[in-house]
Structure 1
């Protein structure tokens, strides 16, 4: 697809072996990993998810805000975008996870509009697949069934391509 709606929503067509993939690169765990490294490096992800669940913060940010692309400080970027309204580690991570879920919902709506196809399920791959809180928030935001797939999806894809090449 090369229409104006696709271009405006920053979708592209990527060629693969025997196919073209209509895609949009969206922010993933970059926000979460940046925050963890800076404000909670000593904590396990499971503990961060628990803190996010217990937080009552309802703030959301645009996860694709250019301020988050290469910040000197991810915490400072969140502080700037939220006007300093995040008060503890749980607030930062709840805001990040819920904002990612909203971002996924927006991208999925654009995809459905641009392709004229409605989807009932959303498949999650990569590091976010093992985060039940993020998946629950994504299910709520998208109103779709979320299915978490292997976190090593890239490695599995590479293996598949090597097997195809060996035929």
Structure 2
């Protein structure tokens, strides 16, 4: 019988919460011998919405997209660095589009077992609650979800391996 290696996907968006989630995902991958994936979604849907609302000009859109692509590589490089220090290989994924749709697609495409997310930000308005991509992922992802909290403890666990 062939052994199946569980897959873990960590969503990276450049926030402090995502950094904590990355450390915990590396810890889990190392301790439980899981295959680690990291995904950063360049939110071109939001960017297009800003252009359509005439908040950004077309020229500014291209410049901002370049900045977003550079940030995506920087954030995934940070995950790769954290994982390499602990001997954990990473499959980095950079996608463009709607965050919710792209993460859901990656979960299905890679047959992910656990999605790791940083702690959710507080809900400011009812509208935020309905449209928050992370909230939608928690509610609708076809795999188990792990919300990472307690940065101090996570840093201790990461350092322990």
TM-score under structure 2 length normalisation: 0.34
Taking CA–CA contacts closer than 8 Å with sequence separation of 6 or more, which of the two structures ends up with the larger relative contact order? 2
Mark the structure with the bigger radius of gyration: 1
Q: Which structure is higher in strand share? A: 2
